Amino acid sequence: MPQQPQINFVVLNDILQAPIEKACGQRATAIAKEKFERVKEDFLEAFILHPVSQEIAAGEDLPTSDIVGSGNLFGFIGFEEGSHPIEDLYAYLKDNIEMADIGTYDRTSKIYNFYVQIPSKEDIKTQTPMPWGTARSWAFAIESGISGLNQYLFRQGYGRSGGGFEAKVQVRTATYQPQKYMSDLLNFLEKSLS
């Protein structure tokens, strides 16, 4: 009687495992990359459309503000006339939010993990110093408060920003109200990527 062929399933599994894992890895990478790019695009759009970003991007010519009243956030913070702090921060964020091209596969849990790099708060603080020379970051000072609003006098074409200057005396009773900004945006990004 002819002998029945025997299949060594351990060897067969080893032979099939590598091409299956490779194909699954390629598909998982494509899916992860697509999701990552969508989340990154949503984050950058949320950053650009945020009221704080919109107001600073409008520059020194904006005559009234939802945030500081008479004048604008660009002039109140004291950015250099003609500078583009929002464009600069946008470019930094766009260049520094990245996903590794290859994931790691956990055979036990059958999960692919992908490493994503996003700027930390400290990284962003380094990129966004107050324009008049303190160690504070304007991107985060917006959230905690900026003193001197009661001395901010809006005058187009005046001051470092071309959008007003700080008077030596109080010229109005307004006080700055902190705004949710970069911390909320980073939390949104982290939750969307997890």
Give 152's pLDDT tier (boundaries 50, 70, 90). Answer: low
- Residues 153-172: tens digit of each pLDDT: 555 655 656 556 566 656 56
Domain ranges of the chain: 9-193
**CA terminus-to-terminus distance, the chain:** 60
pLDDT per residue as tens digits for the range 56-69:
998 887 777 777 77
C-alpha 120/C-alpha 131 separation (Å) is 21
- Residues of 63-92 as b/e, b for ≥16 C-beta within 10 angstroms? eebebbeebbbbbbbbbeeebebbeebbeb
pLDDT bucket at 177, cuts 50 / 70 / 90? confident
Alpha helices per DSSP H over 50-179: 51-58, 73-77, 85-96, 121-127, 138-144
pLDDT at 106: 78
Residue 72 region, left (φ>0) first, then alpha (ψ -120 to 50), else beta?
Answer: beta
pLDDT value of residue 132: 78
CA distance 184 to 190: 10
Q: What is the pLDDT of residues 92-138, one digit of tens each?
A: 999 999 998 877 877 787 788 888 999 999 999 999 998 877 789 99
pLDDT score at 60 = 80
Copy the structure tokens of residue 192: 């969307």
